[in-house]
Every structure is written in structure tokens, then in C-alpha cells.
Amino acid sequence: MRGQPHSASSSDPPGPLSPAILPMRRWGVRRIVATLPGWPLFLQGAVAPFLLFPWAFPWLTALSALAVVAGWFVLRATQGWFTRRSPLDWCILLLLCSLPLAVWAAPMLDDAGDIGPVTALSRIFLGVTLFYALLNSLSTPSQMGWVAAGLVLVGVAVSFVGLYRTDWNVGKLTLLTPLYQHLPNPPQAGQGLTGEVQPGFFHPNMIAAILILLIPPVGSLTLALRRGWQRGALLLPLALMTGMLLLTQSRLGIAALALGLMLGWLRAHP
């Protein structure tokens, strides 16, 4: 109505489209998007395995990346924006500026035995797009709770699998060396020195790459909860994931976690 003030800020992206303004076509894109409010996160979950292990299915990895980019254009066409804004946008831009360093530091090998430049780029792309998929999909406390529970379960599962099926490399952080003899899968003499992964086992960097995507959101959720018992329930899986990350001795993963903690502290104490 003319003359009536508009309460929403003009800089804010529009919310989900009302069914009243959707086209009447039964299978229109906007209608499908409106009935599946969390579809960016479901899409991200479907393509995550191919982006995480690009050497296994190269063509599916390329198609997965194209599907994620196509999802941004679907958001632009149906909602009017590619993604919601976040206070961490500048931090993510800084991360993307480090891509040349990640490619330079990665060995020229892209297979299950090590992390090459294609794998490094694919996993950084996965981490960034996963963040924005969460941002664009979650709008209610119930949705956030279900996603948080899923992240915790995945992190605990990866940690337990890592304890039993990681091909340990114990030559980087000597302070942790005495701990490995108490693990379910203690390293053997000379293990990790050749750079080759035993059949049926995972490279430590692979486990670290997954955990570094899960620890920050679980940690943020732990700090955001108001009830003490809820925080206590998340401290154990958070400690398990963090301890497993340290045991991988992935220096880049540990540095990324330290950087995330520093940025989180700066955000909480401006």
C-alpha cells in the first residue's frame, strides 16, 4: 500500500518466496524450490563424496562442481541472490586468496596416497560451498538442530574410523609419539616413512581434511548453546574430533584449526 513504511532493510536479501506469487505451473522451478527449502544442503551432501575424493571419479567430481555452481544460479533466479551475506565473507575471501599457496604446497600427486593440487582445490571448494549451503538452507532452530546432530554424528564416525584405519605418520610432532602405542591401530616400525598408504587404510591428511570441516561448526554450536547439559553433551564428541585431528599430525589441518579459533575469538570479542 502506498505510503506504508517498509520494515525490512533494502540491503537484506529477500526471504523464501510466498506460494501466492509462485507461477501456477505444476513443475515450475520456483515451485520446486519453495517446497524444498533446504535443497542447497541436500545438493551439497550429494556431491560431497566426489569433491572430497576427486581422484576416484574425476568426471563425477567435475559434474558435482558444476551442479553446485548451477545451484547458485537457481538461487539467483528464484530468490534474487546468489547467497546470503555472512560476517565471515571477508575471512572466506582471505582463504580463497590462499589458493595459489595451497596448490604450490601440494605434491604433484592426486591419488589415494597423497593430496595433489586438484584434490587440494576440490576440498577447499567443498569447504567454502558447504558453509554457504548451510547459510542458505537453515532458517529455523529445528533445522539447525538436525543439521548440528548430523555433523556431530559424522564427526564421531570419522574419528572412530580414523582410530582403526589410519596409516599413521608419527614423525612430525614428537610430543604425540608416546600416545600411538595405546591406540587400537598402533603404527608399525617404519610406518609412514615411505609416503605410501597401506591397502585398506586412510592417509592421515584425508582424515584431517574431513575433520577440519566439522570441528568449527560443532564448536560454534557448543558455544551458542545456553544450557549446561547441552554444552556438556557436545564437549565429548568435540574433544574426540579435535584429538583425532592432532593425531593425524596434519600441520596444515592443525594450522587451519588454530586460525579458525583465532578468528572465532576475534569475532566474539570485537
- Tell me the percentage of the chain whose pLDDT exceeds 70: 73
State pLDDT tens for residues 36-72: 667 888 888 899 889 888 888 889 999 999 999 999 8
Q: 10 Å Cβ neighbour count for 231?
A: 15
Domain boundaries, the chain: 22-268
Whether the CB-CB separation of 156 and 237 falls below 8 Å is answered with: yes
Number of H helices, E strands in the chain: 10, 0
pLDDT digits (tens, 9 = 90+) for 68-118: 999 989 888 887 888 888 877 887 887 778 777 766 665 555 454 455 677
**3-state class (DSSP) for residue 190:** coil
The alpha carbons of the chain give a radius of gyration, in whole angstroms, of: 21
Q: For residue 55, with 0-12 CB atoms within 10 Å meaning exposed, 13-18 middle and 19 or more buried, which class applies?
A: middle
Angle at the Cα of 70 (from 135 to 30), degrees rounded to 5? 75
Q: H or E stretch including 143? A: helix 141-165
Q: Is residue 25 predicted with pLDDT exceeding 50?
A: no
pTM listed for this prediction = 0.63
